Amino acid sequence: MIGALAFPGVSALPSQAALLVGNTEGNNILLFDEQKGEFLGEFITPGSGGLVSPDDLNFGPDGNLYVTSGTTPETSSILRYDGMTGEFIDVFAAGNGLLRPYGAAFGPDGYLYVSSFLSDEILRFDSAGEFIDVFASGNGLPGGLNGPNDLLFAPDGSLYVTTQGSVATNGEADFSAGLPSQVLRFDITTQTSMVFAEPTPSPDGFGFVSLLGLALGFEGDLFVSDFANDIRRYDLETGNLVSVLPTNYTGTIPSNNFIGNLTFDPNNILYTVGFDFTNNNFGAILRYDGISGEPLPSAGNTSAVFVSTNDKLLRPIGIAFTPQIPPKTVPEPFSVLGLLAVGVWGVQTKLRR
């Protein structure tokens, strides 16, 4: 997924900002008011353009929204939508071995990097969506590209990748080898990698680690979500663990909720999504202070709950910040003519599926 894009002109949080959330079981993308958490409707309707299990939501350099989609060789693709209206534009990239894309990120070379989870590869496509090459492949060994998930480019041009520790076998994810879930750092010039982080399981989790989303904080730290609970914050230069943000909002041990991707708003507020697997996979949105890591629940909620569990969020994984509410979701007589379409900071990443 696009790790982080910084657009000029973003200096204060717009009054009509929104959060986009991808429903993997609803095959749609929803909008929530970024200040109050109010549900604003669908940004992309179910199945639009062939949308299946949307996982990663990323705004590209052209301002359009790129979504990883699909679970089979026939449906796996990167779909492109108008960044303001949500209208389907085209299938931006597909084929060439792409199978269950989980993450995508535009690199400093102008290529779109896409993680192909069920082939243990990272593929590269040019700005027109044409296939370039296989940038990296898994080897089934610790430290390898085993179950690649989210992607993020750091300011120094390094590519960070979360892995889930699985080996792709005949289009299936095999966890039997017991490989670790890790964060890898790639040099895109040499295409070599090193292990950046390998955390231990959350005390509120399930005895395993399944690293998913990536986001770059405003102080330069790397935030990593774990599908099996917790958000870990690392010093980008040293790789040292700075802090752990708890995500067990259902309050049971082990937790009844899993955790999805990450995104920041321009005020350094961190958002993630989760879902309660004991309650029809209905989801919620969590919110944290990006500096202190303190949970920021909305009025009437506890823990970090910003949007309470509800039946509109259906196993949500992808989340992205957008600086203004798209016109079609704004009730009359609100006028959008005076709003400036600036960019996005911090669109971030996945899960042990």
Query: Does 340 fall in a domain?
Result: no
Query: Does 130 fall in a domain?
Result: yes
- Can the peptide bond before residue 254 be classed as cis, meaning omega within 30 degrees of 0? yes
Cα separation, 23 vs 46, in Å, equals 9
pLDDT at 329: 55
CA 321 vs CA 28, 157, 234, 303: distances in Å:
16, 22, 22, 21
Query: Does 345 fall in a domain?
Result: no
The identity of residue 5, as a single letter, is L
pLDDT at 325: 78
pTM of the model: 0.89
Cα separation, 158 vs 233, in Å, equals 17
Instruction: Tell me how far apart the terminal alpha carbons of the chain are, to the nearest angstrom.
Output: 17
The token duo for 349 is 């990443």
> Residue 258: which H helix or E strand, with range?
strand 257-264
Q: Mean pLDDT per segment of 10 residues, for the chain of length 353 residues?
A: 34 66 98 96 98 98 97 97 97 98 97 98 98 97 97 97 96 95 98 97 96 96 98 96 98 97 97 98 98 97 98 98 74 34 33 40
DSSP state of 295: B
pLDDT at 46: 98
Query: Does 339 fall in a domain?
Result: no
- The CATH number that applies at residue 302 is 2.120.10.30
Domain residue limits at 59: 18-329
The token duo for 346 is 């911090």
pLDDT at 15: 46
Cα separation, 325 vs 320, in Å, equals 12
Tell me which residue has tokens 């295409």.
191
Query: Does 322 fall in a domain?
Result: yes
Tell me the torsion sign for CA atoms 142, 145, 146, 148: positive
Query: Does 324 fall in a domain?
Result: yes
User: What are the start-end ranges of the H helices in 138-267?
Assistant: none
pLDDT at 328: 56
Tell me which residue has tokens 């062939």.
50
Query: Does 6 fall in a domain?
Result: no
Query: Does 31 fall in a domain?
Result: yes
147 torsion bin: left (phi>0), alpha (psi -120 to 50), beta (else): left
- For the chain, how many structural domains are there in total? 1
